[in-house]
Structure 1
Amino acid sequence: MEAAFQRELRVQTLHEGQALCSGSDEADCLWIVDEGLLQVMAGSTIARRGPGEIIGEMAFLRGAPGSSPVRGNDVVAASRSKVWRIDRSTIDGLAGETRALWYETVARALVAKLDEASLQRANQARDLHRGDRAIARLVCPEGVQATSAILLNGAEAIPPVRRMAVIWFSDLSGFSAHSEGRDAVEVGATLRRLTDPQVEEIQRSNGQVDKHMGDAVMAFWLCPDAPR
């Protein structure tokens, strides 16, 4: 297969920051990275390709036979790089067995990239879940949803909403005096024993804890039927 490409391969040298292709280009070729590092972009970097890796084969294979598919992403050199270009006409001109071997090679490269993408997606889902759990310790469920929406959609701020609510404040009488001179771990355990039942009852009645303030708890209940 290598001998079949020798006459047709064309080398391209790219400087750092130079685009190899854009997302709107016709997918009439693909490339093999010889030197350097290239970034596949979709606003930000979604993948990096180094020596020996294929670039552009997904778009190259997209669409029905005879159609002219376009690229889905920009590809930019992350450093001075060299790639070998393989035109569609070169692949179309391969003999049957050689062409089948080439497409098998491309298929293996695609499977490796799909495995990489699946792993990235699993890691991102795990990170989002951890982030939601951390945020849930500090804000109400609506706050978790709004914060997650900002992280996912890239919004700069949460738009304010005017709502009627019932506000709850509670305080443990005499707790400050009780805590003086006691071990911090013991004080913390006692505080949790006394405030956790409050939090459970608030949440059970569809209230939301806004914050803990020392031995005090602030909570609220939204009034969905009240005029805004």
Structure 2
Amino acid sequence: MKMKSGAVVVELVVGLLGLAWSVGLGYDPSPLQDFCVAINDTKSGVLVNGKFCQDPKLANPEDFFFHVAPGNTANPLGSKVTAVTVNEILGLNTLGISLARIDFGPRGLNPPHTHPRATEILIVIEGSVLVGFVSSNQDNNRLFTKILNPGDVFVFPIGLIHFQLNVGYGNALAIAGLSSQNPGVITIANALFASNPPISPDILAKAFQVDYKLVEFLQKQFWYSNS
């Protein structure tokens, strides 16, 4: 009986360790030192979370600094996303966070997109912004929307399609925090209609239940990226 109980305990521990390991693969790892400034020198660095780390003793304030200038919204979308990830601040490596500044011109749109590796929390600094996200198929693709004004905060769960639209009369500004040093972004329209090489029009026509020629028309358009 004791042997059987012991076997159950071992199986439980192994199962929990396996679960923790699999969950850990989905998110940025916790740092085991104060910082791990990323470098491109593969000879003298140690690879940690996709980046090589320099000797911590060589770190300086510039490794943790980046100036975010206002974005140019004079484009078809009327918005500009300025990302601040590990690629912009090398000192973000292993810290599991990043940021984005989103500038909107009048009626500017940050189009439907997802961040495959991060939850996003957004605060509006200026203007009025309509935000929303769509839940997964499991939740019947429910749409959650809210108009945000200065000081308002909204959360977009990891991986879900979301958007932001300036509904005010002037410019708007929002700051987004993301729970990954490299959250990634997939703009839905660009991914579907401007993939390289193109997705077969037959597939898209059937998926959207529209005419084949409409898909061909959409694939010929210029799909602008605001990031």
Alignment TM-score > 0.5, same fold:
no
Bigger helix share = 1
Q: TM-score normalized by structure 1?
A: 0.27
Larger radius of gyration: 1
Q: TM-score normalized by structure 2?
A: 0.27
